[in-house]
C-alpha cells in the first residue's frame, strides 16, 4: 500500500518548456488535489478533483491545467513554465470532500524553472 | 473566500516547555479545522483536527481549541520534545465548497534540548 505517489521527485525546466507531474493513489479515494508550497506561504491549492470526471480551480490555478485520468490518477501540467512556478508541488487525496477528513499527501515534487 | 492567518511564523522553546500556535480564519462557514505537521523534507501529515461543533480536543500531548465566535483556533503542545521540531500548518475548510482546504503560512517550531 503505497498511498499517494508522485513523479518526478525533482525536475529542472527552462522558461517556456512544458511538463506534466503525475500523481496516483491506491486508497480508493474519491477526491484529489494539487498544492504548491512556497517559503512563508504555506500550501496553496492549485486545482482539485472532487470525483472522477470533475475538476475545479483552487486559489492559484493560472498557468496550470489538470486531468483526472481515472479514479486513481490526477495529473498537473505546466504548458509554458515560468520562474514564478518554481516550487514544491504536493498531490493529495481524501475520501470525499476536504471537510470530512484527512488529506493524504504525496512526497512532493521539487520543480525549478530557470 | 477563506483566509487563514497563522502566528508566530517561528517559535523556539526549551525541551519540556509548552508551545502554542494560533490561527484565525475569515469565513464563518468553515466547519473543519485540521493541523498538519511537516518534518524537514517530508510530506505534511495530519496530527489533530477539530470540527465546529466542538470547543476542544486532546490527544496525548497535543490539544486544539476552537473559538467560533472569535474565529480563532489554537494548537497546544505540552512537554515538548526534540522530535516535535517541524513546521506546523493550521487549515480551515468551508462547509460549502468543502474541497477547498485553505492553509495558514506555517509555524516553524524549534525544540532545544
Q: Which pLDDT score, from 0 to 100, does residue B52 have?
A: 82
Give the cell for residue A56: 475545479
- Label residue A61 by pLDDT band (50, 70, 90): very high
Sign of the CA dihedral B9, A101, A54, A32? positive
Span B38-67, average pLDDT: 94
- Whether the ω angle into residue A8 lies within 30 degrees of 0, i.e. cis, is yes
Q: Which pLDDT score, from 0 to 100, does residue B93 have?
A: 87
Distance from CA of B14 to the nearest CA of A (A): 24
Number of H helices, E strands in chain B: 0, 11
Span A50-58, average pLDDT: 91
| C-beta separation of B73 from B90 below 8 A | yes
Residue B100 DSSP one-character state: -
**CA A96 from centre of chain:** 17
Cα–Cα dist A53/A57, whole Å: 14
Give the cell for residue A38: 512556497
B106 in A contact zone (CB under 8 Å): yes
Q: Looking at per-residue confidence, does A41 or B7 come out higher?
A: B7
% of chain A at pLDDT higher than 70:
95
Span B49-75, average pLDDT: 94
| C-beta separation of B22 from B66 below 8 A | no
% of chain A at pLDDT higher than 90:
80
pLDDT at A24 over 70: yes
- b vs e for A29-54, b when ≥16 Cβ sit within 10 Å of the residue's Cβ? bebbbbbbbeeeebbbbbbbbbeeee
Which class for B53: exposed (0-12), middle (13-18), buried (19 or more C-beta within 10 A)? exposed
Cα–Cα dist B49/B92, whole Å: 10
**C-beta atoms of A102 and B34 within 8 A:** yes
Q: Looking at per-residue confidence, does A94 or B38 come out higher?
A: B38
Residues 1-60 of chain A whose Cβ lies under 8 A from any Cβ of chain B: 31, 33, 35, 40-45, 48, 50, 56, 58-59
Could you give the C-alpha distances from B112 to B53, B71, B80, B85, B99, in angstroms and in order? 36, 31, 9, 9, 37
Amino acid at each position: 500500500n503505497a498511498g499517494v505517489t508522485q513523479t518526478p521527485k525533482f525536475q529542472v525546466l527552462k522558461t517556456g518548456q512544458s511538463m506534466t507531474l503525475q500523481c496516483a493513489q491506491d486508497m480508493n479515494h474519491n477526491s484529489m488535489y494539487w498544492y504548491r508550497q512556497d517559503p512563508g506561504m504555506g500550501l496553496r491549492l492549485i486545482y482539485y478533483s472532487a470525483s472522477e470526471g470533475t475538476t475545479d480551480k483552487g486559489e492559484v490555478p493560472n498557468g496550470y491545467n489538470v486531468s483526472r485520468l481515472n479514479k486513481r490518477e490526477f495529473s498537473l501540467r505546466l504548458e509554458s513554465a515560468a520562474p514564478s512556478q518554481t516550487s514544491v508541488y504536493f498531490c493529495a487525496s481524501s475520501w470525499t470532500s476536504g471537510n470530512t477528513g484527512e488529506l493524504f499527501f504525496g512526497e512532493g515534487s521539487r520543480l525549478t524553472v530557470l | 473566500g477563506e483566509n487563514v492567518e497563522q502566528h508566530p511564523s517561528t517559535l523556539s522553546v526549551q525541551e519540556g516547555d509548552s508551545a502554542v500556535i494560533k490561527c484565525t480564519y475569515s469565513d464563518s462557514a468553515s466547519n473543519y479545522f485540521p493541523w498538519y505537521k511537516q518534518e524537514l523534507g517530508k510530506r505534511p501529515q495530519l496530527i489533530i483536527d477539530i470540527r465546529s461543533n466542538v470547543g476542544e480536543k486532546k490527544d496525548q500531548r497535543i490539544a486544539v481549541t476552537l473559538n467560533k465566535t472569535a474565529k480563532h483556533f489554537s494548537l497546544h503542545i505540552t512537554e515538548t520534545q526534540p522530535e516535535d521540531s517541524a513546521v506546523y500548518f493550521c487549515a480551515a475548510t468551508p462547509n460549502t465548497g468543502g474541497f477547498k482546504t485553505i492553509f495558514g503560512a506555517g509555524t516553524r517550531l524549534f525544540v532545544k534540548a
